[in-house]
């Protein structure tokens, strides 16, 4: 029977681990355990709901367009990449719920002022103690709520492609509304990573014949008890030592362009139930070097070794572990190293004629597999990862990240990761010309209600009569304006400009930030909803045909 207790911590009987000895509730209906939370946490706030075994986004499954399932030659369906990613997202939400309890129990936080998030000012909470002391106190429950809404809403993005017929230039594409937390959300991480990989593969494939491309794994020795913040600072310090100053000149003589992605894991044996012994920080890098450089490993290996040792004596990179081949003994690798041979798995030359270049995916994947972290290190990771940059290009490849951002990352959200490029390239989807923030694009249910939720509703959605116009906010670029003006000439579209009040942040003369409102001019355009639905049906049919053509036959 549930015991009713007064809302005071003195009434709570604790066990040896510091938790209430029996399950009890306060008079307000909330658990008495929250009375033992650390300072600074709202004790009246409820935990996000548990998704349990339901992988579906909030509101149920919707699979249409680029994330639709496709049967094989025998009519069999296999789990799509969309569903697999949401399975990981569900596990991440469950771990985030537990991480929220762990952070509330262990680490106090305090409000130190306001911080700017876009056009808004929000409370700036910082941890007072624990491994993330002084860092942003990111609430795992806030992150869990955002992940729960990932992919639950769908909009129709207005896109434009090159075509002689102005009507055929219109490409309406149904897309899920994602949470955008690529460093935490498995769904967004997969999509963003594939967009980055696609850009990097294009850059690698375009390298001239007098260049060679290598894949490097840059590690450092882990230190038990070291915080993630310290481990990341140590790696970045070693990177700066290698690429700047006198060592930097030697680096630039060999490496003409680079792109790396940082990754963090939790040592041997770590899992959802085992926090693991330490944080292991390393990076996967793709570099381009002149063809005349004979032994790249011998040129770069000593640079990285000296940099990591200088940054933290005793915790530098262990070269023998890096050069040891899978079929080689440690003694044999040590003998090669003593003889000046730095070659090994840590430095591999890539075949730039290979269209897959799987190693590129290692350099573009996101920081850590959140769905496999123990709740305690997961809470630390959220705080340390807040606002951090995990990928970086430099030298001649400085623009790789910008090139990926110019791509519409969501377009790569297809069923199978390995077939993304093939399936997208078969259909010209053009480029987006409308905003995708909530309210800036037509809702899919307003254009074709129920499309993608079941085969029965798909037939109804394609035939139901829809009146009126669908409005969307135009991006401020020449391609968007050119498309709308051409549609207006044939009577397909109309547009209007208006001024609206939006939130903004200004800085006073004394340097303080404050909230305000300002007028912003926006341009909106519309097309008849019935035609939008018809064109969307044609686009989806083309995607379906391309996907079926790419499906292996047995």
> Domains of the chain: which residue ranges?
37-177+426-550, 208-251+263-351
pLDDT tens readout for residues 375-401: 999 999 999 998 888 999 999 898 776
CB 495 within 8 A of CB 488: yes
Q: Lowest mean pLDDT: which of 106-110, 236-240, 395-399, 511-515?
A: 511-515
What whole-number distance in Å separates Cα of residue 319 and Cα of residue 219? 10
Give the list of residues 6+ apart from residue 523 with CB closer than 8 angstroms, or none. Answer: 473, 474, 476, 495, 496, 497
Per-residue confidence at 461, pLDDT binned at 50, 70, 90? low
CB 204 within 8 A of CB 353: no
For the record, the structure tokens of 206 come out as: 């375009």
Burial of residue 365, with CB atoms counted within 10 A of its CB: 0-12 exposed, 13-18 middle, 19 or more buried: buried
Q: What is the mean pLDDT of the chain?
A: 85
Residue with tokens 């350099």, as numbered in its chain: 363
Residue 438 CA, chain-centre distance (Å), reads 19
What whole-number distance in Å separates Cα of residue 108 and Cα of residue 212? 51
* Dihedral angle computed from the Cα positions of residues 289, 294, 297 and 298, in that order, rounded to the nearest 10 degrees: -130
Instruction: List, in sequence order, every beta strand (DSSP E) within 18-108.
Output: 24-26
What whole-number distance in Å separates Cα of residue 382 and Cα of residue 380? 6
Coil/strand/helix, residue 473: strand
The secondary structure of the chain in percent helix, strand, coil, rounded to multiples of 5, reads 40, 20, 40
Per-residue confidence at 225, pLDDT binned at 50, 70, 90? confident
For residue 490, pLDDT over 70 is answered with yes
pLDDT at 407: 42
Q: Average pLDDT of 246-268?
A: 93
Between 208 and 20, the more confident residue is 208
Coil/strand/helix, residue 315: coil
pLDDT at 7: 42
What whole-number distance in Å separates Cα of residue 274 and Cα of residue 45? 28
What whole-number distance in Å separates Cα of residue 471 and Cα of residue 29? 46
**DSSP H helical segments within 386-432, as ranges?**
400-406, 420-425
For residue 31, pLDDT over 80 is answered with no
What whole-number distance in Å separates Cα of residue 380 and Cα of residue 276? 13
What whole-number distance in Å separates Cα of residue 486 and Cα of residue 161? 13
CA distances 429 to 168, 177, 408, 539, 543, Å, are 11, 18, 10, 8, 10
Give the list of residues 6+ apart from residue 44 with CB closer than 8 angstroms, or none. Answer: 28, 30
CB 514 within 8 A of CB 505: yes
Reduce the secondary structure of 198-261 to three states and give it as a string: HHHHHHHHCCCCCEEEEEEEEECCCCCCCCHHHHHHHHHHHHHHHHCHHHHHHHHHHCCEEEEE
CA atoms within 13 A on the CB side of 65: 24
CB 523 within 8 A of CB 497: yes
Give the list of residues 6+ apart from residue 425 with CB closer than 8 angstroms, or none. Answer: none
For the record, the structure tokens of 463 come out as: 């035939």
For the record, the structure tokens of 467 come out as: 């009146």
pLDDT tens readout for residues 178-207: 998 999 999 999 888 888 888 888 888 888
> 344: left (phi > 0), else alpha (psi -120 to 50), else beta?
left
Q: Lowest mean pLDDT: which of 1-10, 311-320, 379-388?
A: 1-10
């Amino acid at each position: 029977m549930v015991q009713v207790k007064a809302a005071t911590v003195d009434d709570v009987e604790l066990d040896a681990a510091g938790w209430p000895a029996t399950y009890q509730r306060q008079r307000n209906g909330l658990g008495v355990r929250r009375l033992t939370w650390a300072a600074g946490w709202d004790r009246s706030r409820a935990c996000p709901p548990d998704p349990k075994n339901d992988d579906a986004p909030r509101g149920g499954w919707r699979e249409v367009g680029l994330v639709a399932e496709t049967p094989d030659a025998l009519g069999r369906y296999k789990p799509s990449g969309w569903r697999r990613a949401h399975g990981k997202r569900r596990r991440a939400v469950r771990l985030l719920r537990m991480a929220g309890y762990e952070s509330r129990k262990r680490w106090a936080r305090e409000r130190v002022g306001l911080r700017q998030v876009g056009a808004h000012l929000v409370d700036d909470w910082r941890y007072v103690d624990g491994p993330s002391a002084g860092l942003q106190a990111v609430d795992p429950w806030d992150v869990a709520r955002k992940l729960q809404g990932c992919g639950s809403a769908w909009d129709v993005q207005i896109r434009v492609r090159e075509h002689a017929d102005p009507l055929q230039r219109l490409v309406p594409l149904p897309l899920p509304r994602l949470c955008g937390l690529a460093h935490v959300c498995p769904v967004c991480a997969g999509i963003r990573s594939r967009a980055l990989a696609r850009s990097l593969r294009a850059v690698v494939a375009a390298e001239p014949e007098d260049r060679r491309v290598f894949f490097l794994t840059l590690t450092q020795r882990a230190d038990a008890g070291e915080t993630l913040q310290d481990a990341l600072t140590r790696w970045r310090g070693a990177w700066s030592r290698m690429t700047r100053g006198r060592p930097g000149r030697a680096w630039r003589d060999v490496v003409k362009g680079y792109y790396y992605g940082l990754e963090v894991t939790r040592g041997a044996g770590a899992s959802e139930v085992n926090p693991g012994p330490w944080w292991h920080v390393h990076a996967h890098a793709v570099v381009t070097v002149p063809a005349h450089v004979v032994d790249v490993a011998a040129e770069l290996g000593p640079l990285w070794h000296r940099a990591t040792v200088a940054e933290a004596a005793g915790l530098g990179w262990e070269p023998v572990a890096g050069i040891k081949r899978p079929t080689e003994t440690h003694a044999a690798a040590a003998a090669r190293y003593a003889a000046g041979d730095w070659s090994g798995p840590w430095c591999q030359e890539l075949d730039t004629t290979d269209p897959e270049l799987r190693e590129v995916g290692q350099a573009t994947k996101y920081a850590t597999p959140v769905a496999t972290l123990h709740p305690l290190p997961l809470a630390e990771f959220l705080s340390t990862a807040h606002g951090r940059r995990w990928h970086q290009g430099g030298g001649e490849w400085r623009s790789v990240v910008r090139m990926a951002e110019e791509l519409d990352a969501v377009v790569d959200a297809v069923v199978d990761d390995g077939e993304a490029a093939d399936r997208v390239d078969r259909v010209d989807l053009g480029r987006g010309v409308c905003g995708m923030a909530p309210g800036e694009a037509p809702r899919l249910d307003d254009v074709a209600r129920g499309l993608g939720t079941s085969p029965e509703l798909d037939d109804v959605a394609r035939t139901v009569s829809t009146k009126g116009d669908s409005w969307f906010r135009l991006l401020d670029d020449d391609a968007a304006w050119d498309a709308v003006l051409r549609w207006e000439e044939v009577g397909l579209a109309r547009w209007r400009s208006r001024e609206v009040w939006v939130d903004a942040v200004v800085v006073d003369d004394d340097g303080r930030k404050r909230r305000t409102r300002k007028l912003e001019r926006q341009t909106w355009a519309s097309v008849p909803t019935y035609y939008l639905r018809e064109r969307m049906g044609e686009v989806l049919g083309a995607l379906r045909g391309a996907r079926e053509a790419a499906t292996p036959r047995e």
